[in-house]
Structure 1
Amino acid sequence: MSLLRSTNCTTHFLRTEMKISGPILSPCLPRKLGPVQREGAGSFFSGDSCLLRLLELCKTRSLRKGICAHSSAIKSGFQDQLLLNNFLLPVYASCYGINQARKLFDGMNIRDVASWTSIISAYVRCGNHEEALDLFEKMLGSGCVPNEFTYSVILQCASALRNYNLGERTHALTVKCGFECNAVLGSSLIDFYSKCNMLEEASQIFTNLDDKDIVSWTTIICGCVEAEDWGEAMWLYASMLASKVVLPNEFTYTKLLKACASIGSNCSRLVHAHIIRLGIKLNLVLKTSLVDMYSKCHRMADALKVMKQTLESDVMLWTALITGYCQTGDYKEAITLFQQMEVAKISPNSFTFAKLINVCSDVPLLMLGKQIHSRVIKSGLAHDASVGNALVDLYAKFPSESDFVDCVRVFEGIVSPNVVSWTALIVGLVRHEHEPEAFAAFEAMRVDGVCPNSFTLSAILKGCGSPKFVAHVQMLHAYILKTMLDEWDISVGNSLVDAYSRYGRVGEALSISREMPLRDVWTYTSLAKGLNQIGLHRRTLDMIACMHGEGVLMDDFSVSCFLSACASLAAVEMGKQLHSYSAKSGLGSWISVSNSLIDMYGKCGSINEARRVFAEVKEPNIVSWNGLISGLASNGQFSGALSSFEDMRLAGASPDGVTFLLVLYACSHGGLVDMGVEYFNTMSSDLYGVPCQPDHYVCLVDMLGRAGRLEEAVCAIQTMPFQPGALIYKTLLGACKVHGNLLLGECMARCAMELDPMDPAIYVLLAGIYDDAGKLEMGEQTRKLMKERRAIKCPGWSWMRNTPK
């Protein structure tokens, strides 16, 4: 819009205002001022005063009317009046934006501190802090001396930019100019130091203020709340009330209620009572803060009561209430409120949609999530990052490949994906076992200029389960060392330790754990699992002393790992100590700990202890039953093992493949061949529905071979629905040695050697068959062939434990 208006429009407007104003406005506006009268702000006369009065009225009624009146002022020759131009600067900034205000400022022949402060403040309000600072430098260069309001605006700029050096220099200038006790500057300094995480300095500024007004009190309380120093915020509030000089207003309470939500419901209700007692008007902002506070305290009845106290509402108020119901797990009420919100014709914003989609993701409710997704598209928020992130997380959590395609499609629709967007996509790719695509997304994220955070790195490291990804783990390790060397994030460190431990590279895992400044129970659990995996059970148990030395308490997972090491070492005494610890610490009620104790006692030969632990389990699962059956079978109590299997069936527990392996083992070693064959034949029937695996056929062949039913064993191998492996041939070869069947033994040895020519057990068994048959030369040739092929037999070893008499 042009600065000049038509004469007719201006004349009509002035006449209208004169009718409204009465005799205060004089119709006699001079057409032109003399040279003396136009020199600066000092020459004020009746016409000038009349125009300023008109502009004041325009400010109260309409900013655009003020611009309209300016055209008349220019035509009348008032364009060089300093006070007039200073008045018009904020009018132009508010009505037509900073560019028009800057044109007016640049055209001013005379400027004072108010002119400079007004234009600098306009730039700060619109977020252009660099230009504001540039103007401040020009102001100083022009010789104009800043006042306390100018310095206050520059401190606002420093706060927004988190520029500590700028703020510190400005603070020094204010002290030099004698403004250190000024209330306006004091509030700005408090805000600056608070936002720079220097609450002590902010408190010192506040303490030194002579005249503490409501703004300074509110600012220091806000600083404490933002720093999450809830106790200090409440203490300042109590001090403010005790002073009886300044009473809190709605802005003070809006900030304070955030602290109340973190302290507890009793404090929240007390502050709410103060608001009522002081007669603070319940405007929409304060009402929203109260609803949000009660929602965070899970007092939804109080939140709903506050909402109904006035008819005024907006999207932030509804979103706060919906969020509260989501946090308390009342998802139906949250959806109902969303429907009521639409009936009230209040359009949801991105935060509302994101919260509801997160609910659908947590419950989970895919179909409802898709319905909300359609509302998102209709609202035009499909490209919003927060909504897109929630949708990516929703679709990524469902196993269907079509849903995952929707996940990728939603991600591609986000205009500016942030670190949360990329992390949600990578988590989805890992969850759907698209590891190569996850690594490609990680690289694309870095190319896009988005820096991965600890959640991103932990997520992609969890996807490196297969040893084929060891090179990717090493590259990620190098990236972490390069970017996080000075501040090891414990979650990232644990993910690295876990990744290397899964590969059996415990040396690297131990080295990383030593570099971490802090270690927690997850660190030691990952190390324990890795050491158990490669058979270093004694070193696993050494981790207990390390945890105790660092004050790290064991949880159910770590206790289970240590009990597994005890079971492998047959270290029953250490197992008993862990049993005692789990009972004292309350971990004994965890099913994983109970299952590990059953397994440990069973493998250590203490079957009565295993039975006792099993009896204490309130709801034994399939692992509990398998542990008991395994312990009984491995300790020669085969009838007890089969009896426990029947008890398991009566208890309504469904056996799995491991259960039938144990049952076949008990039948094989207990001589119950017919019963074992019957179990084998019925396991895949409708009664159990457990498909036969190669291991089950190996057990069947072993059972038939031990009983001398070699022909049936050969028939089982020939009719199995799998390609026979070397193990099943070797199992029947062992039975041929026991029963002296040379012909069948040679056949089985030949088949096994074709599949695994480096297995020394095959040569040893075949040589033994030849020796038993009196064919010593053939036995020697077999041993010679074994040496030629370098099939070296590992020496046997065992643990011996003293059994009390």
Structure 2
Amino acid sequence: MFLGLLPMLGHGGLELGNPAPGSRYRTRGEIAVTIGALKVCSGDLERGKMLHLDAIESGIHTHPHVAAALVSMYARCGSLAEAHRVFEEMPRRNVVSWNALIQGYAENGQENLAMESFVVMQDREGLCPNSQTFVAVLKACTNMATKGERAGDGVSVKEQALEKGMALHSHATVSGFELNEFVANSLVEMYAKSGSMEDASRVFFGMKSRSVVSWTAMILGFAENGEEELALELFDLMLETQSCRPDALTFVAAIKGCTRLAIKEEGRLIGKSLVKVTSLEKGKIVHTRARNSGCQSSIVLESALVDMYSKCGSMVDARRVFDSAKCHNVVSWNSLIQGYVENGEEDLALESLLRMQAEENCQPDARTFVAAFKACGGLAAKENGKKLDDLPKLVKVQSLEKGMALHARLAKSTCGPDVFLTNTLVDMYARCRSMQDSQKAFDQSSHHTTVSWNALILGYAENGEGEAALEFFQQMLAAGECPPDCLTYVAALKACNTVAVTEKQLVNGKPHNWRSLETKFAIHSHACAHPDVFLANTLVDAYASSGNMFDARRVFESMNFRTLVSWNTLLHAYADCGQVEETLELFPWMKKDGYRPDCRTFAALLKACGLLVTLSIGKAVYRDICRSGFEDDMVLLTASVDMFGKCGSMAEAQHICDSSTSSEVVTALVVGYSRQGDVGRVLGLYHQMRDEGVKITSNCFVSVLAACSHGGLVETGKKIFRTMTSQEFGIVPGMEHYVCMVDVLGRANQLDEAVEMVKRMPFDANAMIWMTVLAACCKWNNLETGRLAFDRLVSLDASNGAAYTLMANLCKNSDHQELSNHQ
């Protein structure tokens, strides 16, 4: 409703003026009825045009208040051209008609025209704005602030809106309207949306009286500007002062405060759900107050409650609120579907989409499809890939089929082109490992954003196609239309790590991929303008993965702000590069900096202790793990067993394993016994796991087969290999399994069978497997098979010194054997 167009009925109301020649006599009632009819004609353009024709026929269309009502009607119907035409044809314009035009521009996304009209109204026509004028033009500032676009000079639109709003505030103060309730409420909302809660608070606490509108604007402002605790404190203050009763929108603002609080809170694992306990408790209190006040029946509030409970990790409460609602709309359905997606219940999200259409005939909008495509991407992360004949990668077939079906439904829907939909589609297909479809979705979009490019580049990088990812990164930079952000550089750095190694050189005795490293240097130089902790952490990891710990440490030291992730990244980098002393030396500095270690920190320390074989330090780390309350974490239990095994303390490893039934923990114990050469214990654990139904992993079978090799148990090894590939386990043998079996056969002098196994492998043999064959040939002095293995090794790597040494020893031993036989 336009505040400037209220019907002015009663004594001293509308001006009648003189009737136009030939027109019917105009009465006060006729004008009032026409204005009233135009005001209720919201969104019905055809009805509005008929009323306009009636007004022309009766000759009242030029009356200032009727013309203003026509301007307002056309603006509400989205027909700004007609609104402007009526305005221009007015014989005389007053503040009311200018208010209608300014308000129309503001509510139709033409904020700059609204502000220009505010200036023209005063400078060209000499009219002074009233309170309703300030309300209208402040609305334009508020709407501008919510758009979040960037201006050409790099200044955000929100900052521009704040600057214009402050100028309007000064103007309103000079004009004497600052204390007007409606103007003050508009100022509070404008400052809040512009991100200046200090100015919003100054206006709010300076008001003589506060309505529910001003309280709600302040509470929502704090919630949306990252001050959720203040939002809830202000809500409590409103209830304590009892100056006015909260309405549904006030409760929505308070619920949004709980929602934003939940986003920041670290969840606690309760059952299978990650629950934000503190935020959930606060949200339930607000929910109870809303229910007691009788406001819960508002569909807007119910949607906000569903969203809040979802963000808190309580889908049971979210579903309870949703099911108790008397009616649903697309917004409430979207809240439920998005909630299921965010809580890892993607199947329920897609089921809800089907119910939404089948049971309530509610048509999905763009946001619904965005959530549904994210559900498909989430399902893809959980699905095992499947090999398709026409694609080189393992594809998440089931998730891909669901995504394609949704994409087909989107094409038939009324949803127009939407950049968020495009971005989600590109990401969804990438997660399903169908970069062909991801690329197609990207190419079919008429408008690309930085987010679109990021989704494509990251998709290629995470699917092992680093070259393609870097190529599109270069295309993005060359196009210049979308400036790269921190996530762009993170994606490009990930792409570097997936680029195939084409040339290796040694630095300090360690291999480096110089091509990848040079690319990282180039990306780093581009990214210097983006001081972001996430990007810096990725740079540390990227340099470390290339073996360049000097630059990894340099980036870390240059960070103005570090997080626990930063420290963990460097700790793992040192451990992964084998510089374990640095890992252990860095840990005290981390604690001195005020950071408490988490599971990832302890995982790096355990790895370092295992590599350094320092049992005393390893025991101390394990005690710290128990004191920190992480003794039940499966990752740390597995790492602890592995560490004790590497340090030769199998008693400690066995003690930890006895308290767990996790297949990963038991596998670590099997690996430890296998490393110690305790074949009996390895096979005993293997049979125990089969008898008790404990899952035997692919890595576990590697250790069992290795134990068979060391124990010379040829037939046992063959049987276990067949069992692994049987329907019982269905494990597809990898290169490491074949290496173990070739070693089993080679140690038993079954070299012909070993070579046949290598030839039957579903992939090309690598240097390790041929080295295993050659070593067995040396043991049994088999020159013919040894030459075959040596030739294959040289074809793979002509600089393999170990191969030449083994072959020389084989030839030497063969000559000695031949000479001995001759004698």
1:604 to 647, 665, 683: 647
Partner of 1:373 in structure 2?
407
1:104 to 86, 96, 99: 86
Partner of 1:578 in structure 2?
621
Report deviation, 1:206: 0.8
Q: Aligned partners of 2:466, 2:194: CA distance in 1, in Å?
A: 41
CA contact (8 A) 1:123 1:129 kept: yes
Partner of 1:628 in structure 2?
672
Q: Aligned partners of 2:254, 2:734: CA distance in 1, in Å?
A: 63
Q: Aligned partners of 1:412, 1:745: CA distance in 2, in Å?
A: 54
Q: Percent identity?
A: 22
Secondary structure of the corresponding residue to residue 436 of structure 2: helix
Partner of 1:559 in structure 2?
602
Report deviation, 1:746: 12
CA contact (8 A) 1:224 1:230 kept: yes
**Structure 2, unpaired ranges of 5+:** 1-12, 42-47, 145-157, 262-278, 381-397, 503-512, 727-732, 760-764, 817-823
Query: Which structure is larger by alpha-carbon Rg, 1 or 2?
Result: 1
Cα separation, partners in 2 of 1:378 and 1:473, compared to 1, 3 Å: farther
Partner of 1:318 in structure 2?
333
CA contact (8 A) 1:357 1:394 kept: yes
Q: Aligned partners of 2:806, 2:348: CA distance in 1, in Å?
A: 70
CA contact (8 A) 1:295 1:324 kept: yes
Partner of 1:145 in structure 2?
128
1:662 to 694, 702, 706: 706
Q: Aligned partners of 2:56, 2:251: CA distance in 1, in Å?
A: 44
Report deviation, 1:350: 1.9
Report deviation, 1:194: 0.7
Partner of 2:151 in structure 1?
none
Secondary structure of the corresponding residue to residue 201 of structure 1: helix
Partner of 2:100 in structure 1?
118
Aligned residue identity for 1:423 = N
Partner of 2:493 in structure 1?
461
* 1:513-568 residue CA offsets vs partner (Å, 9 max, x unmatched): 11223334444444344434444222232222232222333344443333333233
Aligned residue identity for 1:90 = S
* 1:723-780 residue CA offsets vs partner (Å, 9 max, x unmatched): 89684587468758xxxx8999998999899976773896699699989999xxxxxx
Cα separation, partners in 2 of 1:245 and 1:532, compared to 1, 3 Å: closer
Q: Aligned partners of 1:194, 1:349: CA distance in 2, in Å?
A: 29
CA contact (8 A) 2:743 2:773 kept: no
Partner of 1:160 in structure 2?
143
Q: Aligned partners of 2:783, 2:340: CA distance in 1, in Å?
A: 77
Cα separation, partners in 2 of 1:626 and 1:502, compared to 1, 3 Å: farther
Secondary structure of the corresponding residue to residue 361 of structure 2: coil
Partner of 1:10 in structure 2?
none
Report deviation, 1:52: 3.3
* 1:648-694 residue CA offsets vs partner (Å, 9 max, x unmatched): 66566367563256325533xxxxxxx44444554544576757867
Report deviation, 1:440: 2.8
Report deviation, 1:29: 7.7
Partner of 1:307 in structure 2?
325
Cα separation, partners in 2 of 1:244 and 1:684, compared to 1, 3 Å: closer
Normalized against structure 1, the TM-score is what? Answer: 0.75
Report deviation, 1:209: 0.9
Partner of 1:350 in structure 2?
366
Q: Aligned partners of 1:212, 1:742: CA distance in 2, in Å?
A: 97
Report deviation, 1:471: 4.3
1:450 to 478, 482, 498: 482
Q: Aligned partners of 2:33, 2:787: CA distance in 1, in Å?
A: 115
Cα separation, partners in 2 of 1:105 and 1:719, compared to 1, 3 Å: closer
Partner of 1:3 in structure 2?
none
Partner of 2:467 in structure 1?
436
> How many residues are matched?
710
Report deviation, 1:721: 3.5
Cα separation, partners in 2 of 1:602 and 1:734, compared to 1, 3 Å: farther
Report deviation, 1:208: 0.7
Cα separation, partners in 2 of 1:376 and 1:28, compared to 1, 3 Å: closer
**Structure 1, unpaired ranges of 5+:** 1-23, 34-44, 668-674, 705-711, 775-805
Partner of 2:758 in structure 1?
721
Comparing 589-598 and 727-736, the one that deviates more: 727-736
Q: What are the within-5 Å matches in structure 2 for residues 266-281 of structure 1?
A: 268=283, 271=286
Report deviation, 1:384: 3.5
CA contact (8 A) 1:567 1:603 kept: yes
Q: Aligned partners of 1:301, 1:342: CA distance in 2, in Å?
A: 18
Answering whether residue 781 of structure 2 is matched by residue 759 of structure 1, we say: no
Partner of 1:224 in structure 2?
222
CA contact (8 A) 1:300 1:325 kept: no
Cα separation, partners in 2 of 1:713 and 1:756, compared to 1, 3 Å: farther
Answering whether residue 93 of structure 2 is matched by residue 56 of structure 1, we say: no
Cα separation, partners in 2 of 1:586 and 1:597, compared to 1, 3 Å: same
Normalized against structure 2, the TM-score is what? Answer: 0.73
Q: Aligned partners of 1:61, 1:565: CA distance in 2, in Å?
A: 74
Q: Aligned partners of 2:208, 2:96: CA distance in 1, in Å?
A: 25
Secondary structure of the corresponding residue to residue 362 of structure 1: helix
Q: CA RMSD in A?
A: 4.6
Comparing 689-698 and 381-390, the one that deviates more: 689-698
